[in-house]
Amino acid sequence: MSRGEPPCAGFELTNHEREPFTYTVAFTFLSESGEALETVKEPVPSVGPGRTVKRTVTMSGLRPPGAGKAVQVRIARVRGVPAAEAPSQGGACPSSGVHVYADEGDAAMGLRVLGLHLENCGTQAYRLNGYPQLQLIDEDHRPADGVKVLQGGSAIASGTGADGSPQSLVLQPGEQAYSGLVWRNTVGGGDAVNVPYVRVRAQSGAPAVMVTPELDLGTTGQLGVGPWKKDGTRGPGAGGASGAQAPERPPGPGAAAPAQRP
């Protein structure tokens, strides 16, 4: 490649599972001296069982000054979820009528906060009442044991925006709701627990969506989940269809309030 082009690398990925999987591969670009320049997450959607696909990953910018003649790349992490359970944010509306996905979360002093988001992308009102239903999944895609899921973020820490009582919500097309996952990366006696995946159902009977929050739970054995709340900052019109002020939300990355590991 020329020095005026962003560094890139080709890769192959094979699905060894028995059903189509959607993957996210994290690549770290390194300078000639081994210094990390950038980590890029490359999505590889819906790879059929036994199939191998070839892709190219590219840095988002040009070769930085001082990177040297040869920019290296290494695979930092690979995560995969069943294609039928892959989260979606925008694009074609799933048959469920809702997009469900997780954000990047926030971290401060061992306290983690990560948002779960739901958008009504269908044509009918969507009703919610209560908490998302969660199943923790380990790296081998088996149910993870030994972790208690507690209702309410305040069971872990206060002031995260994932507390309060459940309310009956009606989301009109285009409106959104959010919940929050709260945990601490505190390590005491015993082995630390890391759970890469969480299978999320918006409510009982809803289709499952598998997100990848990379729960580094330490030895706490606890995860808090907040109730669904309407996100008044999005949707049709200011403040959503109701015009109500946005409720308190989990703090985003870089927030001063206490907040949030392929």
Set out the domains of the chain in order of their start, with CATH numbers: 8-84 (no CATH), 98-231 (2.60.40)
Rounded CA separation 43/46 (Å): 10
- Provide the whole-model pTM: 0.84
How far out from the chain centre does Cα 83 lie? 15
Select from 91, 92, 86, 116 the least CA-distant residue to 102.
116
- The DSSP H or E segment spanning 75 is strand 72-82
- pLDDT at residue 3, rounded to an integer: 55
Per-residue pLDDT of the chain (262 residues; tens, 9 = 90+): 445 678 899 999 999 999 999 999 999 999 888 899 999 999 999 999 999 999 999 998 766 666 556 688 999 999 999 999 999 999 999 999 999 999 999 877 789 999 999 999 999 999 999 999 999 999 999 999 999 999 999 999 999 999 999 999 999 999 999 999 999 999 988 899 999 999 999 999 999 999 999 999 999 999 999 999 999 865 443 333 332 333 344 544 333 333 333 3
- pLDDT at residue 236, rounded to an integer: 45
**Residue 97 pairs with which residues in a beta bridge?**
none
- pLDDT at residue 262, rounded to an integer: 36
**CA distances (Å), origin 92, targets 44, 87, 99, 139:** 17, 12, 9, 28
- pLDDT at residue 66, rounded to an integer: 60
